[in-house]
A and B are shown apart, each in its own frame.
Chain A
Amino acid sequence: MAEPSSLDVLLKGSSGRNTRGLLRIVILLTVAAAAVASRLFSVIRFESIIHEFDPWFNFRATKYLVENGFYSFWDWFDDRTWHPLGRVTGGTLYPGLMVTSGVIWHVLRLLTIPVDIRNVCVMLAPGFSGLTALAMYLLTCEMSTSPSAGLLAAAFMGIAPGYISRSVAGSYDNEAIAIFLMVFTFYLWIKAVKNGSIMWGALTALFYGYMVSAWGGYVFITNIIPLHVFVLLCMGRYSSRAYIAYTTWYALGTLGSMQIPFVGFLPIRNSDHMSALGVFGLIQLVAFAEFVRGFLPGKQFQRLLTSMVLLTFGIGFAGLVLLTVSGVVAPWSGRFYSLWDTGYAKIHIPIIASVSEHQPTAWPAFFFDLNFLIWLFPAGVFMCFQSLKDEHVFVIIYAVLSSYFAGVMVRLMLTLTPIVCVAAAMALSAVLDNFLTLGKPTPPSKVNADGSKFFGSGKGPMVGIYSSISKLFVSGTITLYLLIFVAHCTWVTSNAYSSPSVVLASRMPDGSQFIIDDYREAYYWLRQNTPDNAKIMSWWDYGYQIGGMADRPTLVDNNTWNNTHIATVGKAMSSREEVSYPILRQHDVDYVLVVFGGLLGYSGDDLNKFLWMVRIAEGIWPDEVKERDFFTSRGEYRVDEEATPTMRNSLMYKMSYYNYQSLFPAGQAVDRVRGVKLPAEGPQLNTLEEAFTSENWIIRIFKVKDLDNFGRDHSNVVAFDKGLKKKRATKKKGPRVLRTE
């Protein structure tokens, strides 16, 4: 209290406004910087490297874009994946991410900043997360009158693990820019609804179009904006503002989204997009009804309205059913459908069910990703019900829908996080605004309260907090929660979300760090020791990495567009050598790559994914591959002495354990993932030979043998080489032919 006058100068009047504005900018910049900085763990610990699986494809596509230019990228046919089919890559990807980083790279070059495209790709996600924090500030400021809510929301969004999980440095995936675009589109939409201006509506459409070009999750926006308008209509809140905003957005946004080749005519042909079209029609009718209401007396108008509603609903519904049955409008896409019928994917699309991101979410995951925001979230939703303006309706719809989606699928936690941050910031700022004011209220004399009927809003007007002990207590505990939140986020980011998963880190018994770099070792071996067009077969998880790091053609990759082709690989992996070899020959396979974690105890290996290969193959060849055969009679999945003959003879089993027993004293071989002792005698491979095994045995590469020079069977060749006596064939056989099917 030494110089209250100078403080007053700073905090009151017009200079006070300027001071607050400056502070706000400084705080926002700090939040953005914190958002970027907390995502750099992996770069500091390891190096500037692309993570995981999908990012490797995006990286490869970006390299193609900056090397060959935009037009050849648009028409790109990639013959180095999905051998021998190839992939029309330019028409089957969302180009927004690659084009964004391409533009950034060109701008940097224009400014004579020489930077590698890889570094642009690695740093793109952290950079955009800073922008997301700013967009979150704008969005929340539209929702709340409190000046602190926006800043809190920006800070929450910047460091919430639910968002960091998909946007650490090196996680160069579509979500990296899509979440920013989504939040910003929602901000523009709220602006448009509030102002009823064509400009904001058109901007919404523009950013919606950008979002469509960047991520398949745009369908979420396509459905939530119509739903918002629909609920507003049901609440009797039709306004010309909503009409202008929605029609502008729908017309321009749909046209914009159809410019993306991968999306094409989906917006008018796919059921996922039909709600937007339906609400577009509905709002025209409501607008017309509003127009007519001005000219007609009440009674006639009622009758007209009722008949019109019934008629249009009937015609619309019948038309949709007719179009769906006749095939003009495609039914719901499988991924979308599996959100509603949770058992659907498991039965019909095993390839979707097999992805771990598509599993349901247990409660610890919610707390892990959102910490104390998760319990502020319902409080924030409650606050929205208190004032319930148009924009609050949006928050409520978004909150309920996205918490359902996040419960069904782990990866959709990403769409939940923004709204949790908005709601939590609204709740927390409402508390803090009351408890952080210095002034003491005077107890009011009897006031006639004109409170609303809403039960939570209390009966009287806001009074304020009297005692400074109360203020100290509450603000102190909330500061404590906030500090725990920051520590929690840092801890989670550092421990769970910063591993590149291409390079693994573990601890030695003495506590020192042990880097496991088998993946890159193996991929570089392929790059340097195999011909440029050697075809590599592996399970689809590794397709993108082989394409990106080893630069070799693959049979299947993470794009999973052709289920039959994937099932073919699954069949080759899960069948006997005699069955697999013809498949390998027919597909020109030169090398087979398997991931084996038995030596290190790395649990994400192929034998643990093996059942999915079997299941997917069984979906296409139910008579030749049977999941039941891989389980013992007691229904156990075993790899040791008691493994079923089908299991032991499968190519995957043989490749995984080939020569493994030679690492151990006789009869002591142990698989550390499944924790079992293996048979003393290892499997024997006839048609493949070991080409490379990485340092920790995580990656094993086998070369497919050519046909024998003397026309012998491969098993006979191996037997001959071992010096075994040839078994006399009992009867004369016809000439050897390559076995088909």
Chain B
Amino acid sequence: MKPWAPFVLALSVVSGVFAASSSAEKLQKYQSLSRSGPVDLDSAAFEELTSAPRDYFTAVILTAKDARYGCLMCREFDSEWNFISRSWNKGSKPDDLKMVFGTVDFDQGKAVFQKLPLFSYSPPTFGPFAKVETDPARFDFTGPLSADQLYAWISRHLPDGPIPPLVRPINYMRIISAITILMGVVTLFTVLSPYVLPIIQNRNLWAAISLIAVLLFTSGQMFNHIRKVPYVAGDGRGGISYFAGGFQNQFGMETQIVAAIYAVLSFATIALAVKVPRMEDVKGQQVAVLIWGGLLFGTYSLLLSVFKTKNAGYPFYLPPF
């Protein structure tokens, strides 16, 4: 794993009464920068922002947005981070609760990344919200995260009291595009309805969709989707093992094999029930019955043997397999 991939949020508070003037200046400076979002910081600015006498909180995210670093999460979370800081800046909050949001990108602030684990700020100071522990609180991102979760964490580290609510900005683009797409679809449908309606009303199509859905669901496709199982796995000897060991496990490919087996069995049954009795040729019917019946028998035997590998104590089997 790359050292910067799990980006880090540092929230630190140190406040100084005796150096209030410089603190106020800094606050003024960075707050004016962060009207619309978090301040972009480089190493020097980060130093200045977090240097000792200050009576405000800082929340800084260390990230690597550039495509070179391949940090997908960094880029995904950037917009969330933006809107956290925006809702903070715009919302109403107690006068003496001040906070600056910042972003340090790896390109601009390599030094910060290097010294972050050694973070320690010395002066214990006195102020309305000063804490004895001066180490910044760290939040390690271990997976995708929504702004609400992070905001809940931040608010736990702030003193008790009202804080601005998280207001998710209304995504006008999305609403407009949704309406446009909807209208487009309606228009398209109206124009194409003479051609589309026969397809929609086609019984074969619906039968195919329903059967495929049933086959997928009964072969454990939802399990793959929820548990994110691997497609296939090696068997440790250089080969591929198609079937996962154990009753509660499965591979992606395994479920497809099982679905195919079910499909073959079903269609053999359908053929025997529907097709064969309609055949008028005596010989041909005899052959068809033997083929479909044999296929049914062999495939079912295969299915039982596959199930036996999953469940070792299973006592039943059919001859060929």
Contact = CB atoms under 8 A, between A and B. Distances in A.
A463 to B, nearest CB: 6
B247 A470 contact: no
Given A375-B266, A434-B273, A487-B316, A407 B221 contact: yes
A403 B211 CA distance: 11
Contacts of A385: 203, 206-207, 210
Contact of A388 (B203, B247, B278, B316): B203
Q: Is the interface of B mostly helix, strand, loop or mixed?
A: helix
Most buried by A among B211, B277, B304: B277
Given A379-B266, A385-B203, A491-B315, A400 B286 contact: no
Interface in B212-241: 213-215, 217-223, 225-227
A400 B214 contact: yes
Interface in A362-390: 362-368, 372, 374-379, 381-383, 385-386, 388
Interface stretch (A473-481, A643-651, A692-700): A473-481
B300 A481 contact: yes
A360 B227 contact: yes
Interface residues of A, number: 68
A16 interface: no
A458 B275 contact: yes
A457 B313 CA distance: 41
A466 interface: yes
Contacts of A388: 203
B203 A465 contact: no
Contacts of B269: 375-376, 379, 427-428, 431
B244 to A, nearest CB: 9
B221 to A, nearest CB: 7
A462 B307 CA distance: 37
A382 B266 contact: yes
B290 A466 contact: no
Contact of A400 (B210, B280, B293): B210
Interface in B67-96: none
A443 interface: yes
Contacts of A396: 210
A583 B267 CA distance: 63
Interface stretch (B39-47, B108-116, B167-175, B255-263): B255-263
A399 B210 contact: yes
B274 interface: yes
Interface string A12-28: 00000000000000000
B248 interface: yes
Contact of A364 (B152, B153, B266, B311): B311
Contact of B262 (A375, A430, A463): A375
A386 B215 contact: no
B296 interface: yes
A251 to B, nearest CB: 31
B279 A381 contact: no
Nearest to B249: A362
Contacts of A430: 273-274
Q: How large is the interface on B (under 10, 10 to 19, 20 to 34, 35 or more residues)?
A: 35 or more
Interface in A451-484: 454-467, 469-470, 473-474, 477, 480-481, 484
B52 interface: no
Interface in B184-220: 203-204, 206-207, 210-211, 213-215, 217-220
A343 to B, nearest CB: 8
Interface string B112-142: 0000000000000000000000000000000
A491 B226 contact: no
A443 B282 CA distance: 8
Given A364-B310, A383-B273, A404 B222 contact: yes
B214 A378 contact: yes
A492 to B, nearest CB: 9
Contact of A377 (B218, B225, B249, B313): B218
Interface of A: 342-343, 360-368, 372, 374-379, 381-383, 385-386, 388, 396, 399-400, 403-404, 406-408, 427-428, 430-431, 434-435, 443-444, 454-467, 469-470, 473-474, 477, 480-481, 484, 487-488, 491, 495, 622-623
6 contacts: A360-B220, A362-B220, A364-B307, A367-B307, A378-B218, A463-B279
Given A378-B266, A465-B285, A473-B293, 13 more contacts: A363-B219, A364-B310, A366-B220, A374-B218, A378-B214, A379-B266, A382-B211, A399-B210, A430-B274, A458-B274, A467-B285, A474-B293, A484-B318
| 3 closest cross-chain pairs (CB), A and B | A407-B222, A363-B220, A375-B265
